[in-house]
Structure formats: structure tokens, C-alpha cells
Amino acid sequence: MQVKPILWTYVPRADGSCNIKLYVNANGEKKYIKTKFHVLPSEFDNKKGLVKKTHPNHVRINAKIGEQKRIIETQLIESGDINLIGKTKQTSFIDFLNSYYNDIQNGFTDHKPNTAKSYKSLITRINQFKDEKKLKDISFNDIDLEFYDNFRNFLLGGVGCGLPGFGKHIKVIKTVMRIAEDKELHSNEIYKHHRFKVHQSKPSNKIYLNEDEIEAIKNVNLESDVWLEKERDRFLVSYYFLMRFEDSRNIKRESFFEKSGQRYLKYKQQKTGHECIVPVKSEAWEILEKRGFDMDFGSNAQSNRNIKTVCALAKVDAQVKQGEESGPKWKFVTTHTARRSAATNLAMQNMNIKIIADLGGWTDIRTLRSYLRASGLDSAAVAKDFDFFL
């Protein structure tokens, strides 16, 4: 069996470009499958069966043709009949979801590699749902409003997934359904219905640390415990740079540069690939120099335990409520509290939310607004100094 992209130069178009076909050879029979792509002969590598890098869309075209090639290979393996190629349609939503997840992992789509986590999570949940309902499969036509309600009830009641998690799964389902529809694998448009919606994020109920509490953490004496001291320092660095935990671990000296006398950090976020540039506070630089620019130690789980201890020692013990649970604030602090606290404190200083988004790498202002965590009293304390209230 052989499936290989070739350039069909026998019938060029007026501009000289030719169609890329898939040459199929199975059991002595040959077939040529047309694709929707045309390139110039100088832009195609016949030996490799790939569009050359000189073509501006070579990555996308090669990915799409590679995907079509794999579909044909699968059909040949399953049927063994070259004449059935293109005549059967994939109807399983789950099979297509798995296939598309593999394409993301292998770089055959426009998605960033980290996006694969959302698809993997949906694969896990939708298979749990299938097993719970004793279904053999879930087809494209099964994705309807009844499925939406049942899947929602299963996630919220059966596995303890909240509305934000459900919303993320629905977002992926809608994307997969659209891609499959574009490939003419189904004609089910119920996923576009106004009831088949992604729930908007509600304001966060997670705690944040105000500037006085950050100062208390900074000043608490931890000389007797080197690991707590290191954890405190990394937490402060994450705070000063509005960073996620995994990004603070990856800080390198070469990530810094100077311009007009000001030092800046430039880095690419591990989770999103988004590039951020942040001014460097003198306190942050002092910590990094003290630590030899090495913030890569310990696991996230251990760090969460350590930073709670640090906050308890710093007497960050105001009574608060997070979700349904109440207790001293230190009990709810995690490594991610640093990033949330920095964004919230900047907002409380009246910094433009677009600037906060740029510094922290938020691409959606609505997401950032729901992420900020300040009480009505906090906001009122800031507002009292405006002329309107004087």
C-alpha cells in the first residue's frame, strides 16, 4: 500500500500552478485523488511529496494534505478496497475528536501544542459520559440539545466539574463540530443554536493578597528554614512579574534586557506561547541575583504547601470565605495567588486594564475582568479620593 502526494503537471492552470493529488497504490490498483490545493512546480518537492518552504502557506497545506493522506490510509486498512476511498464518511464524533487531538500533538494544525490539553480533557470526560450512559459511541448527529443538557448534568453532578470547566468542554465540542462540518463529515448545525452555548466566566471567588499582606510576606523572618525562604522569594518574583508558577521556574538571566536605563523581562508563556514584556522592580532583581537566577526547584504541590506556611508565619490570617469554605486567608493561598494579587493590586492603583492584560499575557479583557478579585469595599476605598466624592 502506498499513498503519496504528487504534483499533477499534465493540466496546469493559467497561472502555471498545478493540482496536488494523492497517488494511491494498493494491491496492484492505482488511483489519483484530487485535493483542493494548487502550487507552482517550483514550489513542490516531488521526492518528499511536500510543498516547499518558499510557499507562504506551506505549513498549512502540508498539514491538510497529510491529514487527507492519513484518512485514505485508514480507509485502505479497514476496507482493503481502493474503490471505496472517499465514498464512506466518518460518523463518530469521538473518533474524529481523537484523530484531531493527535493532529494537534503532531503539529498538523494551526493550534499551539498546549491546546492539546483541552482536547485530551474532553476525550476523558466524554468517554466517561459514554460509559456512564452505556452508549456504544457518540456520533456527530448525537450532538444535540439533549446531549448538551445530559453532558452538563453529568459534569456538574457526576464528576464535580464546575461551570467554567463545562464551558471549556463545550467550546472544544463546538470547534470540533465546525471543523468536521467544514470537512463535510456531517450537516448537524444544532451546535450553533443559542442554547448550545459556552457559559461566560463569572467573577472569581478566589482570594488575593493586598499590598500590606505582600509586604508582610516580604518582611517575615525565614532564616531558620532555607526552603521556606526560597519559596517566599519565588512567590514574590511571580508577584512582581504577574507570572504563572511554571513561568517563574523558567526565568533565565538572558531573558532580561535594558532600554533607556530601564531593565525589562521578556519571556514567552509556557501555557499559551504569548510573549510578555514586564518592567523589572529593583526588589525582583535583588531576589534573582541572590538566587543566581535559579527559580527551578520543588513541585507545584509542595510549593503550595510551603507558601501556605509562609503566609501563616507572616500572619496573613484575616478570616475570609472562598467558595463554601471559610478560614484564615493563608489557608487559601497557592502559588497562583501571586499572579492574581499582582493584577488586582494594579487594578486597584487605577492602571489601565489593557496594560495589565499586556503585562500578564491576557488576550481576552473579559477573562481578565472576571479574574480580578477585589471587594466592593476595596473599590470604594480607591474611589473615595476621586473629586466626585470630595
Note the pLDDT tens digit of each residue in 373-384.
655 545 555 555
- Asked, for residue 375, whether it belongs to a domain, the answer is yes
- Cα angle, residue 116 at apex, residues 112 and 122 outer, rounded to 5°: 145
Rg of the chain on CA atoms, in Å: 27
In angstroms, the Cα distances linking 381 to 115, 193, 343, 384, 389 are 40, 43, 17, 5, 11
pLDDT of 370 reads: 73
pLDDT of residue 271: 83
Exposed / middle / buried, residue 176 (Cβ in 10 Å: 0-12, 13-18, 19+): buried
The 10s digit of each residue's pLDDT in 348-364 is: 888 888 899 999 998 88
Rounded Cα–Cα distance for residues 126 and 32 (Å): 37
| In the predicted structure, residue 169 carries a pLDDT above the cut 90 | yes
pLDDT at 219 over 70: yes
User: Residues 245, 278: one domain?
Assistant: yes
CA distance 53 to 339: 40
Q: Can you state the percent helix, strand and coil of the chain, rounding each to 5? A: 50, 15, 35
Digit-coded pLDDT (tens) for 238-266:
999 999 999 999 999 999 999 999 999 99
Does 313 map to a domain? yes
- Whether residue 155 sits in one domain with residue 101: yes
Residues 46 and 70 in one domain: yes
Whether 42 and 163 map to the same domain: the answer is no
Specify whether 376 is located in the same domain as 308: yes
Whether residues 103 and 23 fall in one domain? no
Reference 304, options 234, 251, 220; nearest CA is: 234
For residues 181 and 217, state if they share a domain: no
Would you state the pLDDT for residue 173? 96
The domain boundary, picked from 67, 84, 101, lies at 84
| pLDDT confidence bin for 93, thresholds 50/70/90 | very high
- The mean pLDDT of 276-299, rounded to a whole number, is 94
Q: Coil, strand, or helix at residue 319? A: strand
Q: Which of 63-67, 76-80, 287-291 has the lowest mean pLDDT?
A: 76-80
97 CA to centre of own chain = 17
Sheet holding 18-26, edge to edge: 2-8, 18-26, 29-39
What confidence score (pLDDT) does residue 27 get?
79
What b/e string do you get for 232-270 counting C-beta neighbours within 10 Å, with b at 16 or more? bbbbbbbbbbbbbbebbbebeeeebeeeeeeeebebebe
Q: What letter does residue 278 receive in the DSSP assignment?
A: E
| One domain, residues 18 and 99 | no
What pLDDT score does 241 carry? 96
Please check whether residue 204 lies inside any domain of the structure.
no
Q: How many domains does the chain have?
A: 3
Is 46 in the same domain as 113? Answer: no
Instruction: Select from 33, 56, 84 the last residue of a domain.
Output: 84
User: Edge to edge, what strands does the sheet with 262-268 contain?
Assistant: 256-259, 262-268, 275-279
* 382 and 240 in a common domain: yes
Look up the CATH number of the domain holding residue 247. 1.10.443.10
CA angle (287, 283, 307) in 5-degree steps: 60
Lowest mean pLDDT among 44-48, 54-58, 71-75, 141-145: 71-75
Q: Mutual orientation of helices 226-240 and 211-219 as an angle, nearest 10°? A: 150
Q: How does the average pLDDT of the chain come out, rounded?
A: 87
Residue 365 confidence (pLDDT): 81
Q: Nearest-CA neighbor of 165 among 115, 114, 105, 122? A: 122
pLDDT > 70: percent of the chain = 91
Q: Would 234 be classed as within a structural domain?
A: yes
Q: Is the pLDDT of residue 35 over 90?
A: no
Average pLDDT estimate for 217-243: 96
Burial (Cβ within 10 Å: 0-12, 13-18, ≥19) of residue 58: middle
Q: According to DSSP H, which parts of 14-162 are helical?
A: 58-79, 93-105, 116-132, 145-153
Name residues whose C-beta falls within 8 Å of residue 202's C-beta, 6 or more positions apart in sequence.
163, 164, 370
Q: What residue type is 69 in one-letter code?
A: K
In tens, the pLDDT along 317-359 reads 999 988 778 999 999 999 999 999 999 999 888 888 889 999 9
CB atoms within 10 A of CB 91: 15
> One-letter amino acid identity for 89?
K
Owner of C-alpha cell 476523558: 124
Looking at residue 379, what is its pLDDT?
54
Joined together, the cell numbers standing for residue 212 give: 500590606
Say if 330 falls within a structural domain: yes
The reply to whether 199 falls in a domain is no
Q: What is the pLDDT of residue 378?
A: 55
> In terms of pLDDT, which residue wins out, 206 or 61?
61
**Higher-scoring residue by pLDDT: 31, 202:** 31
User: Do 79 and 97 share a structural domain?
Assistant: no
How many other C-beta atoms can be found within 10 angstroms of the C-beta atom of residue 106? Answer: 14
Please give the backbone phi and psi of residue 205, each rounded to the nearest 5 degrees, phi first: -110, 15
For 66, 95, 103, 319, 325, the CA distances from 112, given in Å and listed in that order, are: 18, 21, 11, 41, 36
Q: Is residue 200 part of a domain?
A: no
Q: Indicate if 359 and 290 belong to the same structural domain.
A: yes
Q: Determine the structural domain holding residue 160 and report its residue range.
A: 93-192
Looking at 84, 107, 129, the residue that finishes a domain is 84
Is residue 114's pLDDT more than 80?
no
Specify if 198 maps to a domain: no
Question: What pLDDT is stored for residue 372 in this prediction?
Answer: 76
